[in-house]
Amino acid sequence: MKGLSSTKAEVAAAVLESLGAIKFRSQFGGFGLWHGKNMFGVIADGELYLRANGELGQRFTRRGMSPFIYTKRGIPVRMGYYRVEEAIWNDCMLFRKLARASIRQSVQEKSLQARESVRLHMLPNISVSIARALYRIGITSAEQLAQLGAEEAFLRLKNDRAEISDQVLYDLAGAINGCHRAVLPESIRKALGRWLLEQLQKKGMPKKNSKT
């Protein structure tokens, strides 16, 4: 199995073969593990990581599984993947159970993404690409976006994609307020402008004028 030691490759092959056809694609400087159209694992630096979010991620953490940290443009980004530790490699039944849970969640999230992206896309200013970017960082509904606020959502987008346009901040604010960014109240525009200026002065927040 690509990217793993011969011993781990044998164990992984034996465990994963029982779950169906697994494909490999280049991802995060290593290889992504795909079950059908759903990515559920990553192999990087000789280690295997299983995908998990929410409660499943908490379960993995309680088992001592460390999160995968991916460095993007010099910025460390914590990903929703957790390392298969030595104790798990030595327990094929547990390994299979965790991998199956990862696959099941990835299928459920893909289905949810298809539904919620449409809902986000129905908001003013939210293009399909912005909706997908929001989903990728865990914002899957208009309610979540409103609860987080434009500033926090924008920061999360920037951490995920540093090249994203600063104009997206105003797109998000308009979406939350139910209006096009061009007709945002002047008080909101000024407040966002001041906040954005503060953020641009911090490291890792280069200004981008082009749209996402």
Using one digit for the tens of pLDDT, what is the confidence trace for 94-143? Answer: 999 999 999 999 888 877 766 655 578 888 999 989 998 998 898 988 88
pLDDT band of 210, cuts 50, 70, 90: very low
Picking from 108, 137, 162, the residue at the C-terminal end of a domain is: 108
The pLDDT, as a whole number, for residue 60 is 96
**What pLDDT band is residue 212 in, cutting at 50, 70 and 90?**
very low
Examine residue 83 and state whether it is found in any structural domain, yes or no. Answer: yes
Q: Is residue 52 part of a domain?
A: yes
- Which CATH number goes with the domain that contains 27? 3.30.1460.30
The answer to whether the CB of 34 falls within 8 A of the CB of 40 is yes
User: What gap in Å lies between CA 118 and CA 69, rounded to an integer?
Assistant: 30
pLDDT of 162: 82
What percentage of the chain has pLDDT greater than the value 70? 89
pLDDT at 168: 96
Q: Is residue 113 part of a domain?
A: no
- Mean pLDDT (whole number) for 159-175: 92
In this structure, is residue 206 part of a structural domain?
Answer: no
The pLDDT confidence band at residue 203, using thresholds 50, 70 and 90, is low
79 pLDDT band, cuts 50/70/90, is confident
pLDDT of residue 194: 92
Tell me how far apart the alpha carbons of residues 166 and 183 are, in angstroms, rounded to a whole number: 17
Residues 77 and 133 grouped into a single domain: no
* Same domain, yes or no: 127 and 58: no
Q: What is the rounded CA–CA span in Å between residue 157 and residue 139?
A: 10
pLDDT tens sequence across 25-44: 877 677 888 998 889 999 98
Kindly report the number of other CB atoms within 10 A of residue 153's CB atom: 25
Tell me which of 81, 108, 135 is where a domain ends.
108
| Residue 65 in this model has a pLDDT that exceeds 90 | yes
Residue 205 belongs to a domain: no
Q: Compute the average pLDDT of residues 144-173.
A: 92
Residues 183-212 have a mean pLDDT of: 76
The pLDDT of residue 150 is: 94
Same domain membership, residue 103 and residue 22: yes
Same domain, 18 and 94: yes
Is 97:50 a contact under the CB 8 Å cutoff? no
Q: Give yes or no: residues 45 and 99 share one domain.
A: yes
| Residue 103 structural domain | 6-108
Mean pLDDT, residues 181-201: 90
Q: What is the mean pLDDT of residues 160-182?
A: 92
Q: Is residue 164 part of a domain?
A: yes
Same domain, 10 and 99: yes
Do 127 and 87 lie in a common domain? no
E-strand ranges in 45-84 read: 47-51, 67-72, 75-83
Last residue of a domain, one of 76, 108, 140: 108
Q: Is residue 129 part of a domain?
A: yes
Q: Give how many domains the chain has, as a whole number.
A: 2
